[in-house]
């Protein structure tokens, strides 16, 4: 059933969807990591594709930037298209001192300054947003088997990209590994909609050191993240 944001028909999406923010990254994933690919959505340029990886049916859908945009696609993927597992694959700005560019990170928790969590539960409740442990466990051990360096920890989802008011150093002092704009919303919706969710990220730049990956380095490190995500997807199906 089509929605205002998606022209796909029921059954066009696999039960497992990879969710990059950038629609063009969704196309890149489909073109370079999946076989027998069919484009299932193009509304508003939010490209969605379904293909196979090692014989397993997997979809990829661009979700835009930030929790509000991502929430539209997650709600519709689950409610209208029957998706059961969503793994975000994206980049983030590192803050931990020992984090290196290109490192793959699994978000074991999502902190945020977004009001989405507070508005869900009301005053006095500080809900912790966490991933599906089965997915997290599979992804961690998959990275180890692939000999891909992996870090696990808390990621901060910023409500604004340009935000001089946030004390990033204090967040780092309290163990936050880095910042992006989606993880807390992803995990909140995972709990609400009773689906599996996991945020798998690549460190593309470091906030305090000021260094960043080149285009070629991004491609190499992005491939590491994708191998972890795709292998996790098929192992999760087998369990």
Confidence of residue 164 (pLDDT cuts 50, 70, 90): confident
Confidence of residue 15 (pLDDT cuts 50, 70, 90): very high
Alpha-carbon distance 163 to 88, whole Å? 23
* C-beta neighbour count of 157 within 10 angstroms: 28
Give the containing element (helix H, strand E) for 234: helix 215-238
Q: What are phi and psi of 191, to 5 degrees?
A: -70, -45
Q: Which residues are catalytic?
A: 205
Alpha-carbon distance 18 to 233, whole Å? 9
Instruction: Please give the share of the chain, as a percent, with pLDDT higher than 70.
Output: 99
Query: What does R_g of the chain's alpha carbons equal in angstroms?
Result: 17
> pLDDT digit string (tens) for 46-81?
999 999 999 999 999 999 999 999 999 999 999 999
What the chain holds in terms of domains, given with CATH numbers, is 16-238 (3.40.50.1580)
- Which residue is listed with tokens 């700005």? 93
Confidence of residue 1 (pLDDT cuts 50, 70, 90): low
Residues listed for the chain: 239
Name the DSSP class of 212: B
> pLDDT digit string (tens) for 103-162?
999 999 999 999 999 999 999 999 999 999 999 999 999 999 999 999 999 999 999 999
């Amino acid at each position: 059933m089509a929605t205002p944001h998606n022209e796909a028909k029921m059954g066009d999406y696999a039960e497992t969807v990879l969710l990059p923010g950038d629609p063009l990254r969704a196309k890149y994933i489909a073109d370079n990591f999946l076989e027998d690919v069919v484009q299932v959505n193009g509304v508003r340029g939010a490209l969605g594709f379904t293909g196979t990886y090692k014989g397993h049916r997997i979809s990829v859908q661009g979700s835009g930037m930030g929790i509000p945009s991502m929430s539209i696609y997650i709600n519709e993927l689950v409610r209208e298209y029957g998706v059961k597992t969503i793994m975000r694959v994206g980049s983030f700005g590192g803050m931990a001192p020992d984090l290196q560019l290109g490192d793959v990170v699994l978000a074991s928790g999502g902190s945020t300054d977004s009001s989405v969590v507070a508005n869900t539960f009301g005053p006095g409740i500080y809900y912790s947003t966490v991933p599906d442990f089965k997915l997290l466990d599979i992804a961690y051990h998959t990275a180890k088997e692939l000999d891909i360096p992996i870090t696990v920890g808390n990621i901060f989802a910023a409500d604004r990209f340009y935000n001089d008011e946030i004390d990033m150093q204090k967040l780092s002092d309290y163990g936050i590994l880095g910042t992006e704009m989606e993880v807390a919303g992803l995990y909140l919706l995972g709990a609400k909609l009773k689906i599996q969710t996991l945020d798998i990220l690549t460190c593309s730049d470091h906030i305090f050191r000021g260094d960043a990956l080149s285009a070629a380095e991004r491609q190499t490190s992005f491939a590491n993240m994708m191998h972890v995500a795709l292998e996790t997807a098929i192992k999760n199906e087998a369990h």
